[in-house]
Amino acid sequence: MEDAERAPADARRARTVRPVRGVRRGGPGGIGAVLACGAVGALLAGCASMPDRGEIRRVDAAQGVDSQVRVFGAPPADKASPADIVDGFLEAMTSDDPQLATARKYLTEGAAKEWKPGSAVTVLSAGLDRVPVHGERDPEGPRWKVTGKKLATVDERSAYQPETGGKRYEEFLQLVQVDKQWRIATPPSGLVLSESDFQRIYKPVNKYYFAGGKLVADPVYVRQRSDPDSRMDPTTQTVQSLLAGPSKWLGPVVSTAFPTGAALREGTKSLSYDGQNTLRVPLNEKGGNVGQPQCQKMATQLLYTVRDLTASRLDRVELLRPDGRSSLCWVTGSTASVLANRPPSPEHQYYVDKDSKLVRMVLNVNAEEQQQDKPEPAPGPLATAAAFKVGSAAVTYDEKRAAVVSDDGHGLYVVTLTTAGQMPPPLLNSKTGKLTAPSWDAQGDLWIADLDPQTQGLYRIPGGTGAPQKVDVAGLDGGKITALKASPDGVRLALLVEREGGRKNLYLGRIERPEVQGDASPLSVRELRPAAPQMAEVTAMSWAPRGRLLVVGRESGGVDQARYMLADGSMVAASLPGATGLSAIAAAEDEAKPVVASSTEDGIVWLPPGAQWRTVAAGGRAPVYPG
């Protein structure tokens, strides 16, 4: 039978959800589902169910189900048709029942034992199409092809990887008869979910690892409820993922304090806080045989990881020996903050004023209102160089030096902000005046790109002094870097890349440094990956707290907006209120500091937490925080 031969309409039902009250629909002629409501403090008034009749409709991802709704599939009906078995299994994969027991009932006994739904997840932008390839009378038995457009995959380490280029998903489900009942013998290797189902079932969290003595956020996804394979709750899933090691993409540039083979004590399914906001984590033998300094670094990774997972206050993490009772070590939030070595909270915000001078402002924060002091000229040579005009700037995390690009884009200069003096000679020149804004990383290195056709490329100035080094960027494929920003942890570089047609898209590269001190091997940026694949074009970006990106751009057919995204390219928050007409944006690692932006109409504006945009300086541009 040809692929073009499609099943009857009633055998290719698309999923819809309607509010009912605990009604189970379905029977011998069709599939069914029971959706029970979750509760937060009280039961929800209604539930949702799967209709078993009606027109074929593709459910758009925007029609997502509330994350509080719990979905339970219905088991296969007696003598259900192959079409109903396929539809019922695909629906049951979206279930919240433990171990996906209902979905396994649609499989043969052998397939049910071998199926590992937790091994990987394929996320589709919309629903699946199902097409019969072999009919019931075919000697090989009924065979169905399921297809869809891939949005992303989530691998065995829970890392999200966006797909590009509209790649298609395709899988074949072979059915056989078992005791006169049709069952699936070849299920997908993992779960296959629409975007809306994925967002309902999974939640983004950050794991934390070390790089250069600093903590680095490694974003992953865990199930909102018990994992079907391990039966672990979300906190325990996250801790297990942390102990298993970093994602494949980040792995080459980070390390973990946990020794090889460290894991949770066998049988651990749930971790919870006690009355003193302490999380106790029992380890196995390999994890429990470490000294105090290493143990405290392990506990620091755990504290930051679990603190990101929940809104509940976490004051202390204690690691337990394999007996589950005796303490191995513990850290409090204050101890962990020292070991984490996070960038200091900035004292100033910086921008270029209407006279092309670099100025800074002190942000005063009190219990009732955040007030902005009057801007002052940045101290040092820039304050006395009357003729020098600034186009863009970056300031070191300790706010002792600034890198500035001249207003004509020809020269890059590094100046002190602590002592007066003359303007130094430029460290880098662009013949055609096409230098991007610079950026400092956590190691004190300076980054910049040149768009001059003769010298085009990415450059790094070690320590902000000496000769610039051209950096190889794997995967750039002829694109031009028009803007860049080094992450506060110093291991990632956000790049705004312009390709043919003039559109700019955001990519993330991994900064790989020589492992051995004094190694002459060149530093490089590897494995570019899309950081905002949902955006048709990106115009500005900044790093934001907890390893996120703050991106200004537009979706296809949409308007400009600013929104937070995880560094893995998955969207995690709605757009900022009223964020239109922004040409540049900056966020500090300290979440108490306001988002600062440059507006084409209002100049420099800022958005304090929980407030609305406020105008700070008319005519200003190029706002930055240290970094």
User: How far are the Cα atoms of 117, 203, 241 from residue 98, in angstroms, in the given order?
Assistant: 12, 17, 19
Amino acid 68: pLDDT: 53
Q: With a cut of 80, say whether residue 384 has pLDDT above it.
A: yes
Between 333-340 and 292-309, two packed helices, what is the crossing angle to 10 degrees? 100
Exposed/middle/buried for residue 191 (C-beta within 10 Å: 0-12, 13-18, 19+): buried
Amino acid 310: pLDDT: 72
Beta-ladder partners of 181: 178
Place of tokens 């570089």: 493
Strand, helix or coil for residue 4 = coil
Name the percent of the chain lying above pLDDT 70.
85
Amino acid 33: pLDDT: 39
The residue that leads in pLDDT, 99 or 89, is 89
Amino acid 521: pLDDT: 65
Contacting residues for 626 by C-beta, under 8 A, at least 6 apart: 343, 346, 348, 350, 395, 396, 397, 398, 399, 440, 588
Domains and CATH numbers, the chain: 55-66+73-201 (3.10.450), 257-340 (no CATH), 348-624 (2.120.10.30)
Place of tokens 């903050």: 337
Name the percent of the chain lying above pLDDT 90.
60
The residue that leads in pLDDT, 21 or 595, is 595
Sign of the C-alpha dihedral, residues 91, 93, 99, 105? positive
- The token pair at 340 is 């984490």
- The token pair at 118 is 């937790």
CA angle 256, 257, 258 (to 5 degrees): 90
Nearest to 541 by CA among 511, 512, 570, 561: 561
Instruction: Locate the DSSP E strands across 268-397.
Output: 278-282, 316-320, 327-332, 348-352, 358-365, 370-372, 376-377, 390-395
Q: For 532-547, what is the mean pLDDT?
A: 92
User: How far are the Cα atoms of 280, 531, 567, 595 from residue 550, in angstroms, in the given order?
Assistant: 34, 11, 10, 9
The residue that leads in pLDDT, 488 or 365, is 488
Q: For 347-362, what is the mean pLDDT?
A: 95
- pTM of the full predicted structure? 0.84
Contacting residues for 101 by C-beta, under 8 A, at least 6 apart: none
- How far is the C-alpha of 437 from the C-alpha of 112, rounded, in Å? 56
Amino acid 406: pLDDT: 97
Q: With a cut of 70, say whether residue 105 has pLDDT above it.
A: yes
Amino acid 519: pLDDT: 53
Residue 135 pLDDT class (50, 70, 90 cuts): confident
The residue that leads in pLDDT, 365 or 232, is 232
Nearest to 86 by CA among 4, 30, 137: 30
Amino acid 13: pLDDT: 34
Q: For 503-529, what is the mean pLDDT?
A: 83
Q: Kindly report the average pLDDT of the chain as a whole number.
A: 84
Alpha-carbon torsion, ordered 255, 261, 264, 267, to 10 deg: 160
Q: What is the pLDDT of residues 3-12, one digit of tens each?
A: 333 333 333 3
The alpha carbon of 395 is separated from its chain's Cα centroid by a whole number of angstroms, namely: 26
Per the CB < 8 A criterion, the answer to whether 168 and 577 are in contact is no
